[in-house]
Chain A
Amino acid sequence: MAEMWISMGPQHPMTHGLWTLKVKVDGETVVDTEPDLGYIHRGVEKICEARDFTQITTYCDRLCYASANTWSHAYIYAAEDLLDVEVPERAEYIRMVAVELQRIASHLMWLGAYCPDVGNLTGMVWCLREREMMMDLLQELGGSRMHYNFPRVGGVKRDLPIGFAMRCRAKLKLFLDRIQEYEALLDESTIFLIRTQGVGYAKAEEMINHGVSGPNVRAAGHNYDVRWAHPYSVYDELDWEPSVERPSIKGSDCYDRYRVRVEEMRQSASMVLEGLDKMPGGSETYHEPGDPAILAKVRERAAEGKTGYHHFEDSRGESMFYLVGGGEKRGKHPYRVSIRSPMFITIPYAAKCMIGYKIADIPAIMGSFDPCIGETDR
């Protein structure tokens, strides 16, 4: 059969968003691929230049629909680096709880999307059911279900609600039980194993050369987790280790990437449980109360040419915010905001990973890298 190009996207079940994957196939075998991104480019970086430092948080929430909290936190740490703001310890713990709950929700969303990719709807319904618990917890914190706008420069929006820790512990315990159900549904299913094992090999060194990070690179056996390698927040006070898979000599396959995320969900749950125990008392969650107090100091603290940045372990890899202060000329606004999106780097690599496999493997391989187009196109 002659080779032909198939255009998968912009609306296609495989894409998990709005982008196009052009696939050149020879019969059922993929010969060449070409990702085509940029359908939902909103110019977030440029928009941020016209917003003051406290307004940017809401835009960062909208970078990724599945993992809003991690992105707003990534920005907040960079802004605090630029503005030299100190954060109370309790606020750091609350942030950690919020981010890790978001990570669980994001990974559940990923697993829920991955199951239909390999042909099973049950997994999706189960995952969304458990994600609902995380959404409820995050709603208690941020007041919203999707875009929380929870962190503030210098702290968090508000203290934990009364009884939050109790509900959080109960739900996480239930969740830790239910992870075993996913493993019973997926790991013990021969069909799931033959669909994911030996498919979509990605080597650690190649991924590092491309700049891929996060669970994808940890699945390939490379122990790099920003929370672990360059601890920020309170991660060095917790008792944990990054979950790293031991892949085969060919690299990590889809199954490795699935395993590492399931392990991360377990780990995040235990981190939240530990954080709730270690959290210092008091109600001080806001170092410099009120946005006006922060904004009043922006002109002197974010001097012209001064930069602030922060590497953040997002659910999908290493995200980074790079802020440049504008001094008097820019007023309360930053001079420049630059965002490093892990998925923008991963998607082209993942598209090359599927060369040589079958068409049926495309969703399995692409889904295993956990694409999120909101942050990719920014």
Chain B
Amino acid sequence: MTEDIINMRGWVRTAMDFVSENTIGMSRHWEYTDSVAWFLTEFMMCVMVFGGIMTTLLVLLWMERKLLGRFMDRRGARTSLRSLWVGENGVTAGEWWTQLPFGTGIPIGMLNKALNEIAGNDHKLEAVSRVKNRSYHGVWWLLPGFFQNLADGMKFLTKEHMVPEKADRYVFEIAPFLIIATTVMCFTFIPLGPNFHSNNSEMSILFLMAVFSVAPLGVFFAGWSSNNKYTLLGGIRSAAQLTAYEIPLLVTVLSVVVLSGSFNLIEVIEFQVDSGVWNIFLLPLGAVLFIVVMVAEVERIPFDMPEAEAELVEGWWTEYGGMRWGLMFASEYLRTYAACLLFAHFFLGGWEAPFEDTIPFIHYIPHITWVFLKAWFIFIFFVWFRAALHRVRTDQILEFGWRWLLPLSLVNLAMATVLRLWVYDGVKEEWPILVPILITSISLALFVLLSIDEDPKALEAQTRPFSVQTVDVASPGQHRK
């Protein structure tokens, strides 16, 4: 196991041992002391992992808003960076730090003042402030918008819960619970650090994938039971899409499992720590497939057909409101978060710091930091896709899933098998550094070659490089025979 300065499980166990020894150990049920301590440890770890995930989920929402703002509205680099802490349009929240007790806010105020002088828009010439595209206020900042999500949550809580009159009430009520519960359950098996996990079962990846794919059922329930044509179509689309992308996802995960030789997520990470190279350099194709499939699984642009707002208004969750909608929204981001964390664990070495063996003193940074940083880094790609790409049509999504992703994932599985059988066969001395370098450079070269998809002849002839088959030539007046 990786050494970590945060031995969270050990600390919790020690504390719980102390608690149970002094409570149940003193009673006539003293023989259950260990079991109670174990139970309390598991419970505490569950609570801590869940709390950590839910708290850092705010980071994801905040990142998405801020990054999309940058992508969509081009601003200069300096404005962009500064506006990460300056409120949008210079909105200020007052000098809130003066309210803090015992003068604890004084350093915040000083920092604020310093940053205002360096990068603020409180210039003495109003014209300069306007050029900086911010109104003529000082800067309050640091996380404006970060707590917006809490405010949104409060708003959802105060909203009325409505069930459509003709909806199938029981199914309509069960569907959100099905979605939310299974989504939260995913995090049982995702470790946040070497000693920071709530469960470490032998087949954790298998269980994780099984739980991950229950939510589509809830989506289909929600779409059908709302008794609305848009939700029905959204539910059907969701079922078709998730089924089509479940199989490539499982095969891709299987390739990681084959390479690492274990169904246990922690052992998959330990394999990457031991081999000294992250899986992304061994299975680049698998990494690309995983992120594409995951975008489809969590229904984000370009694969957000089930909730396509242009034609289906909001798809399967049109009829939901209040906190049920809020929690389903949160669960969608939780699924995205799970996807990012899984990518970090499967392909980016999990909690291993980059160049952990070469950079001195890097192991003093808690490993949980790297897990979150990697997950957030992957989330940048999710936001980037959303800003840059359009929505793919239903039939094109299915075609892409069945005709491209499934065969490619099988190819990837074959590559993983070859690597496992002849290169990474468990004898560490024979793991050459040449293999990942070779694989990565070949993949990069292929990527560059395939990216150049312009056909000069086709461009010259003005033919359509991309064309889709349509049912028939649509012609007005002919549809009514």
Contact = CB atoms under 8 A, between A and B. Distances in A.
B395 A28 contact: yes
A352 B476 contact: yes
B311 A355 contact: no
Interface residues of A, number: 56
A248 B468 CA distance: 13
5 contacts: A4-B229, A120-B388, A121-B72, A206-B475, A360-B393
Interface of A: 4, 6, 8, 12-14, 25, 28-29, 31-32, 115-122, 125-126, 129, 185, 189-195, 197-201, 203, 206, 210, 246, 248, 250-251, 255, 349, 352-363
B98 to A, nearest CB: 37
Nearest to A210: B476
Contacts of B462: 246
Contacts of B388: 120, 122, 185, 189
A353 B474 contact: yes
B466 A193 contact: yes
Contact of B229 (A6, A13, A189, A194): A6
Contact of A119 (B310, B313, B395): B310
B392 A13 contact: no
Contacts of B465: 193
Contacts of A251: 473
Contacts of B68: 121
A116 B304 CA distance: 13
Interface residues of B, number: 47
B302 A250 contact: no
B396 interface: yes
By DSSP majority rule, is chain B's interface helix, strand, loop, or mixed?
A: loop
Contact of B470 (A191, A199, A362): A199
B94 interface: no
Contacts of A201: 470, 473-474
B71 interface: yes
Shortest beta-carbon contacts, A-B, top 4:
A119-B391, A352-B476, A125-B72, A363-B310
B233 A352 contact: no
A174 B371 CA distance: 44
B474 A356 contact: yes
Given A193-B465, A353-B474, 20 more contacts: A8-B311, A14-B311, A28-B394, A115-B390, A119-B301, A120-B390, A126-B72, A126-B74, A185-B388, A195-B391, A349-B476, A353-B476, A356-B470, A356-B472, A357-B471, A358-B394, A358-B395, A360-B391, A360-B393, A361-B393
A32 B390 contact: no
A122 B71 contact: yes
B474 A359 contact: no
B304 A119 contact: yes
A360 B390 contact: no
By DSSP majority rule, is chain A's interface helix, strand, loop, or mixed?
A: mixed
A306 to B, nearest CB: 38
Interface in B383-405: 387-396
A122 B387 contact: yes
B54 to A, nearest CB: 27
B308 A360 contact: yes
Contacts of B471: 29, 356-357
B31 interface: no
A70 B106 CA distance: 59
Interface in B454-481: 462, 464-477, 479-480
Considering residues B229, B311, B467, which has the most beta carbons from chain A within 10 angstroms of its beta carbon? B311
B305 interface: yes
B470 A197 contact: no
Nearest to A186: B390
A14 B310 contact: yes
Contacts of A255: 464
Interface string B26-43: 000000000000000000
Contacts of A125: 72-73
A207 B476 CA distance: 10
A360 B237 CA distance: 11
B313 A13 contact: yes
A195 B395 contact: no
B309 interface: yes
Nearest to B309: A13
A354 B395 contact: no
B390 A359 contact: no
Given A4-B229, A121-B72, A356-B474, A197 B466 contact: yes
Contacts of A28: 233, 237, 394-395
A195 B233 contact: no
A187 B230 CA distance: 30
Contacts of A197: 464, 466-468
A195 B479 contact: no
B429 interface: no
Contacts of B470: 198-199, 201, 356-357
